[in-house]
Amino acid sequence: MHTIDIEAEKKEIQKRYRALLKACKPTMEKGDKRQIRIAFEMSVEAHKNMRRKSGEPYIYHPIAVAQIAAEEIGLGTTSIVCALLHDVVEDTNITLEDIEREFGTKVANIIDGLTKISGVFDQTSSIQAENFRKMLLTLADDVRVILIKLADRLHNMRTLESMPRDKQLKISSETIYLYAPLAHRLGLYAIKSELEDLSMKFTEATTYKFIANKLNETKGERAKFINEFIKPLREELNKLDLTAEILGRPKSIHSIWKKMKSKGVPFEEVYDLFAIRIILESDFENEKADCWKAYSIVTDKYIPNPDRLRDWISSPRGNGYESLHTTVMGPSGRWVEVQIRSGRMNEIAEKGFAAHWKYKEQTSENGLDQWIQKVRDVLSSPESNALDFLDDFKMNLFSDEIFIFTPKGDLMKLPFGATALDFAFEIHSDIGTKCIGAKVNHRLVPLSHKLQNGDQVEVITSDKQKPKEDWLNFVITSKAKSKIKSAIREQKIKIAEDGKEILDRKLKSLKISNTNQSISKIALFFGLPSNIELYYQVAIGKLDLKELREYQVTEKKTPQKTQPKIDKDNLDQYMKQVKSKDSDILLIGEDLHKIDYKLSPCCNPIPGDDVFGFITINEGIKIHRTNCPNAIKLMSNFGYRIVKAKWTGQKEIAFLTGIRIVGTDEVGVVNNITKVVSNDFKVNMRSITVDSDDGIFEGTLMIYVNDTSHLDTLIKKLKLVNGVINVTRFDANKSA
């Protein structure tokens, strides 16, 4: 057994505390050191008997979170105090009242925002979504809640190795789904990239290692190329007396992988593996002009790609990011991305919100303030479903932006993909609800018209117009969605009152009980989501009430069964119920038992794939690949319903999977492919489809294989067929 050296640990805690104070020095004022000391001692005392999964003293974690908040985000004393105490209310006997007494209301409010919601939710709810919503409610008042939460998440991701596999998957998925986009939205690019890379390290371990090794192998060659590229630029900048730091940075592993996937190319064909950054020493008054001078030098030396100029200096991104980006053709025929910015712009790009605050006086418009106002609008929506809220939030507040002009020339920012109706609601809710059309660049367009960057939009309204259900099919902003739903709900409730009277009379004549429970069952029988919807459909004559006799018959036959609630406390009991006698292909659960399961059709897992089990409400346990298109959403929202799953030495069973083949359309190529599949490998093929266009063919094969090594060997063999350029496995991509 490992013995613990208490004295050595005490010394280590003090050493880490001193490093924290050093990181806090730039923002410290009189009396701050004492506040940090009190918070540190309170945290040490509260966590004294606690240890992390790695075996280290728990106090290492709050100190590390405070260090990240100070050093990597640039936060001040209040945030450091909150970071040191962020887990005490949730995990120890200290209460919010104790904290308020010692540190005041502001610190207590921030820590309340950081404290997770505990309790059991129904099957349709997500604990993670509720926690995220609670955290955002506090964001509307104090952005430091989110910044400390990001520091907390970053440290948890850096130390995730010691956690069990199912927890690694849950935390990584949650991180890529919510926290990395949030870091991006708050302008914390370095943290966003690290969170993405660390998530990938656990969900796509093989690919992550492969790209990391490749980057390592090409390091020397890359450094040589960067030096060659930079040299003439440095000379020209010196001639114009522009002082600049020029850096060559490799792109993150996650962004390289995204490019490999989106372009369907191997690592060797991803040319922009790094970006050159030119950071100019420039006064606020001259920085725009200096950036354009530097741009001129770059494009004089290297030919730019005209489609790849991004000017975020004239119109900064919503999170305050300012920079000029261009892609130029460098030596050896390689495309290189160049980013040009001032020191102030660079600090905002690195430190995001905290740096933006520092320079707030200099900038006339603060995109982050506007973004937080949008968050407040989303949070004020009456929607009760936390998952709907989360999807709307992701869609609106993490998406790319387009710039739209009003008829008077005022600039408005909307998410990419927004329609004329979204724009109308963005101006004002009343204008949205009365909107009948719009003029885009003086041309009449329908409400569903998608807006493009730079469009000038005039909204046309009518007092007779009312929101319609089909509007929800094409609006994308949270504001528009919530206002339309709210208006439709009010309309429906009025109409539903008539439907209720009609249904009451019918139930009375058929002698069917008229309780809330039986009305809910009738709604379910007709496949409707709520009692209001049932009354509404009755009122508008959409339902045939003669079918109530059929309901009566089925109700008498069907024994009353209630669907079990799945929550964290009854998972073990649920697992025992689905124990299997003869399931020997997968072992499932914490202790890896033999349990009944289904293979999910959205990703068609086969033996050898990295998989996990997801406990569904109606269909038992479903097995998904960890890189399934639906995995991130399932694991981040319903982490408590994720269970370990591991393949055992299975019998020779065939599993369905898909292969995509791209190649040149040569004579006999399809025949050669089917020969490899059927004759050489004795693999059963369920279907094959081939499309040919201008000498290039793309084929999809649905085949049965035994496991991943069987599939890999088949893919290697197919790549050797004359005319075949690329062979990849693909996901069916249906919903879970």
**Both structure tokens of 686:** 């369920």
**Both structure tokens of 404:** 């739209």
Measured CA angle at 56 (ends 54, 62), to 5 deg: 105
Please spell the DSSP secondary structure of 542-571, one letter per residue: -S-GGGHHHHHHHHHHS----PPPP-GGGH
Strands 621-625 and 655-664: unpaired
Element (H, E) at 256: helix 253-263
CA 471 → CA 196, 422, 493, 530, 565, distances in Å? Answer: 35, 10, 19, 21, 34
Element (H, E) at 13: helix 6-24
Between CA 486 and CA 35 the distance in angstroms is 47
How many CB atoms neighbour CB 546 within 10 A? 8
Strands 696-705 and 598-599: unpaired
Q: What's the alpha-carbon Rg for the chain, to the nearest Å?
A: 30
Residues paired with 439 in a beta bridge? 444, 458
Q: Which DSSP state fits 315?
A: S
Whether 91 is a known active-site residue: answer yes
By CB atoms closer than 10 A (0-12, 13-18, 19+), residue 714 is buried
Catalytic residue from among 41, 45, 91, 569: 91
Closest CA to 474 of 525, 557, 417, 555: 417
**Both structure tokens of 281:** 């020493």
Between CA 609 and CA 477 the distance in angstroms is 38
The per-type count for the chain, helices as H runs and strands as E runs, is 30, 21
Taking every pair of C-alpha atoms in the chain, what is the biggest distance, in angstroms?
95
Residues paired with 246 in a beta bridge? 278
Per the CB < 8 A criterion, the answer to whether 319 and 184 are in contact is yes
Task: Specify the length of the chain in residues.
Answer: 736
Per the CB < 8 A criterion, the answer to whether 87 and 61 are in contact is yes
Q: Is 158 helix (H, G, I), strand (E, B) or coil?
A: helix
**Both structure tokens of 30:** 């009189």
CA 697 → CA 660, 664, 711, 712, 716, distances in Å? Answer: 11, 6, 22, 22, 19
Residues paired with 402 in a beta bridge? 414
Per the CB < 8 A criterion, the answer to whether 477 and 414 are in contact is yes
Catalytic residue from among 41, 45, 90, 235: 90
Per the CB < 8 A criterion, the answer to whether 151 and 158 are in contact is no
Whether 569 is a known active-site residue: answer no
The conformational region for residue 592 under phi > 0 = left, psi -120 to 50 = alpha, else beta, is: left
Closest CA to 352 of 364, 373, 374, 367: 367
**Both structure tokens of 227:** 């030096």
**Both structure tokens of 293:** 């001078």
**Both structure tokens of 457:** 């939009």
First to last CA, the chain: 45
The conformational region for residue 511 under phi > 0 = left, psi -120 to 50 = alpha, else beta, is: left
Between CA 378 and CA 81 the distance in angstroms is 30
Q: Which residues are identified as catalytic?
A: 90-91
